[in-house]
Amino acid sequence: MSTHQPIQKEHEDRMMAIGQVIEEIFDMKNQNLGFALLIFDLEAPGRMNYASNGCREDMLCALKELIARFEGRHIEETQTKNPEVAQ
């Protein structure tokens, strides 16, 4: 059972606008860069909203790498399912 759902309506417009600005500022398409924007409630943990310019599998891989690094485990390289990025 998937828990994946669309961005909550109250955050959608702003998150999409921020994502467009991030893509433009970093010239993401020409530099082959990815980004993720996470929005969550600090007071009452629950739903997390995210926007990304990558496919969901690459987003999961990036988050796993981030967690491993935060926990002090080192990952040599990110594995990606995007054939344009994989080398």
Per-domain residue ranges of the chain: 10-53, 55-87
Task: Kindly report, residue by residue over 3-54, the tens digit of the pLDDT.
Answer: 678 888 899 999 999 999 999 999 988 998 999 999 988 887 778 899 999 9
Angle formed at CA 3 by CA 77 and CA 40, multiple of 5 degrees: 75
Residue 82 has a pLDDT of: 64
Owner of token pair 């390289």: 77
DSSP 13-31: HHHHHHHHHHHHHTTHHHH
Q: Is the pLDDT of residue 77 over 70?
A: no
Numbers of helices and strands, H then E, in the chain: 3, 2
pLDDT band at 84 (very low <50, low <70, confident <90, very high): low
Residue 41 has a pLDDT of: 85
Residue 52 has a pLDDT of: 92
**How many Å apart are CA 26 and CA 37, to the nearest integer?**
14
Local structure of 3: helix, strand or coil: coil
